[in-house]
């Protein structure tokens, strides 16, 4: 009988506020000791992390696994999507239970758990997406929060899916969630202007091809909706979280709202930082269609600035994988492209290479943006997002020297293409550990299907 199940030796431990060299002792899924030197004989297993970083596992608060959407179902299901997450250094994902109009929110939560619980390979939680607002929904908010889902999502678009929330719903939900310590995440785009522009470009769809997707969704359609949502948060006192923010104008709006004391936070994704809408001009431009779509280089620049100065607090991926066969359903009509792309597997290494390697992000900022801030904002800290005694042993041993050329074929995702195909990375996860169990090594899954647990999260998350 040994003192620890596992010791990680000689790694450079990175937290949101700094880094230091130490050994970590793990017992019964938890970090139980952090010390300058632990005797190797005190554990059943020892992992040598010398020369490598040890970071809290990544937390991707925005994934859509096996989502019925755009006439298809996203290709990474709860099993493969969480395997892919593990391979990329992510140890927690948050997906969505989307209310069906007329039904209770909890019906969607139970249905989603029935799909996910036996499949997930790392820990996961759910946001509740509100698509209906009536007395029953209002009364359910506290119940959903008490159940362990303190974060909600509302879509300002998607009429056809039956998901769209109007301003009155958004206003009411901000008011109600504020009473119980919840927050509203919002997909912000201006639906009426968008629909008008989509109709306009549909007249010339053969001329523009996939580029019509970006022509019909100019930056101001996101900026205006963000400003509107912020106004409702300001007057209700509700807490707002802008999901997948893609515009510089959005970042400016969040910046000035925060200066006025509005309770608003924002997330962006690697695609908005690293790609621009020229991608739609390529032969396979339709593959890149997401919603909101990638914007202009000046938008990316402003988002990078936002990560560095605190306007943007979270990096997530909006993983919603559609393979080339699914994307082919567009048949030349930009309105029919399934929206979404893979992402969870490449978030940490891409952000390390591009953010830490090239953009002046410190490793601690990377940890804050991809792990600690999400844990705090989404009610999981300090069990998740932290390397301290008592935290879950969700850890990534990260090899800063490892060179990888990204190829979809080498990844775990069910996607047969990658938006970052051929990109040269420097730095990749060597080992991913979920509650003390090694779940991935060198980009390959070695864990167990169904090992992941549903996370009951706490209310009043903030930074």
Q: Contact residues for ligand URP (CB under 6 A)? A: 64, 187, 290-291, 318, 320, 339-340
Q: Is 217 in the site for Zn ion (CB under 5 A)?
A: no
Q: In the complex, what is the shortest distance from the CB of residue 320 to ligand URP, in angstroms, rounded to a whole number?
A: 4
Helix (H), strand (E) at residue 176: helix 167-180
By beta-carbon proximity to ligand URP, the closer residue of 271 and 300 is 271
In the DSSP assignment, the letter for residue 410 is: G
Q: Which is nearer to ligand URP, 64 or 255 (CB)?
A: 64
Provide the 3-class DSSP secondary structure of residue 74. coil
Token output for 391: 């935290």
Q: Name every residue whose Cβ is closer than 8 Å to that of residue 407 and which is 6 or more positions away in sequence.
A: 418, 421, 422
Q: Is 187 in the site for Zn ion (CB under 5 A)?
A: yes
The whole-angstrom separation of Cα 346 and Cα 352 is 10
3 state DSSP class of 106 = helix
Q: How is residue 38 written in tokens? A: 């632990």
- In the list ligand URP, Zn ion, none, the entry touching 354 (Cβ below 5 to 8 angstroms by class) is none
DSSP state of 459: S
In order of 212, 215, 328, the CA distances from 207 in angstroms are 9, 12, 18
Helices 219-236 and 191-202 cross at an angle (nearest 10°) of 170
User: Which among 104-112, 182-190, 246-254, 255-263 is the span making contact with Zn ion, rule CB under 5 A?
Assistant: 182-190
Residue range at the interface with Zn ion (CB under 5 A); choices 136-144, 315-323, 342-350, 442-450:
315-323
Q: Rank residues 64 and 112 by Cβ distance to ligand URP and give the closer one.
A: 64
Q: What angle do CA 317, 322, 325 make, to 5 degrees?
A: 160
Q: Is the peptide bond before 382 cis (omega within 30 degrees of 0)?
A: yes
Which residue minimizes CB distance to Zn ion?
187
Q: Give min distance, CB of 350 to ligand URP, in A.
A: 18
* Residue 318 touches Zn ion, criterion: CB under 5 A: yes
Residue span binding Zn ion (CB under 5 A) among the ranges 5-13, 107-115, 313-321, 368-376: 313-321
Contact partner, 340, from Zn ion, ligand URP, none, Cβ < 5-8 Å per class: ligand URP
CB nearer ligand URP, residue 124 or residue 339: 339
- Decide if residue 127 touches Zn ion (CB under 5 A): no
83/187 with CB nearer ligand URP: 187
List residues binding Zn ion (CB under 5 A).
187, 318
């Amino acid at each position: 009988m040994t003192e620890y199940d596992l010791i990680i030796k000689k790694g450079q431990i990175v937290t949101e506020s700094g880094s230091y060299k130490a050994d970590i002792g793990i017992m019964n899924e938890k970090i139980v000791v952090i010390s300058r030197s632990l005797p190797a004989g005190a554990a059943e297993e020892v992992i040598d992390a010398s020369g490598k970083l040890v970071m809290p596992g990544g937390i991707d608060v925005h994934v859509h696994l096996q989502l019925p959407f755009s006439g298809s179902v996203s290709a990474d299901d709860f099993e493969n999507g969480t395997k892919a997450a593990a391979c990329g250094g992510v140890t927690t994902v948050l997906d969505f239970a989307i209310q069906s109009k007329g039904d209770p929110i909890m019906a969607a939560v139970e249905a989603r758990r029935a799909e996910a619980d036996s499949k997930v390979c790392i820990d996961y939680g759910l946001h509740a997406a509100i698509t209906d607002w009536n007395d029953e929904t209002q009364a359910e908010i506290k119940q959903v929060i008490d159940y362990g889902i303190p974060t909600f999502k509302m879509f300002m678009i998607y009429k056809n899916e039956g998901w769209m929330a109007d301003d009155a719903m958004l206003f009411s939900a901000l008011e109600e969630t504020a009473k119980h310590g919840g927050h509203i995440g919002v997909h912000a785009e201006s639906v009426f202007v968008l629909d008008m522009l989509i109709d306009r470009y549909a007249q010339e769809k053969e001329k523009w091809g996939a580029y019509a997707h970006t022509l019909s969704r100019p930056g101001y359609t996101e900026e205006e909706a963000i400003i509107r949502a912020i106004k409702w948060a300001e007057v209700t006192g509700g807490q707002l979280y802008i999901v997948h923010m893609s515009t510089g104008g959005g970042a400016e709006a969040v910046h000035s709202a925060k200066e006025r004391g509005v309770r608003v936070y924002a997330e962006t994704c690697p695609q908005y930082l690293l790609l621009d809408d020229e991608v739609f001009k390529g032969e396979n431009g339709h593959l890149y269609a997401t919603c909101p779509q990638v914007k202009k280089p000046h938008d990316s620049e402003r988002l990078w600035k936002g990560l560095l100065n605190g306007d943007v607090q979270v990096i997530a991926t909006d993983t919603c994988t559609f393979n080339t066969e699914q994307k082919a359903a567009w048949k030349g009509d930009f309105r029919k492209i399934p929206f979404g792309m893979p992402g969870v597997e490449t978030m940490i290494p891409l952000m390390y290479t591009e953010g830490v390697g090239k953009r002046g992000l410190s490793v601690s900022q990377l940890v804050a943006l991809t792990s600690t801030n999400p844990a705090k904002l989404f009610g999981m800290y300090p069990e998740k997002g932290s390397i301290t005694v008592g935290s879950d042993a969700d850890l990534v041993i990260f090899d800063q020297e490892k060179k990888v050329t990204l190829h979809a074929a080498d990844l775990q995702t069910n996607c047969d293409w990658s938006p970052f195909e051929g990109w040269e990375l420097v730095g990749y996860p060597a080992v991913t550990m979920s509650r003390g169990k090694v779940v991935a090594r060198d980009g390959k899954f070695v864990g167990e299907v169904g090992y992941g647990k549903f996370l009951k999260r706490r209310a009043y998350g903030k930074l």
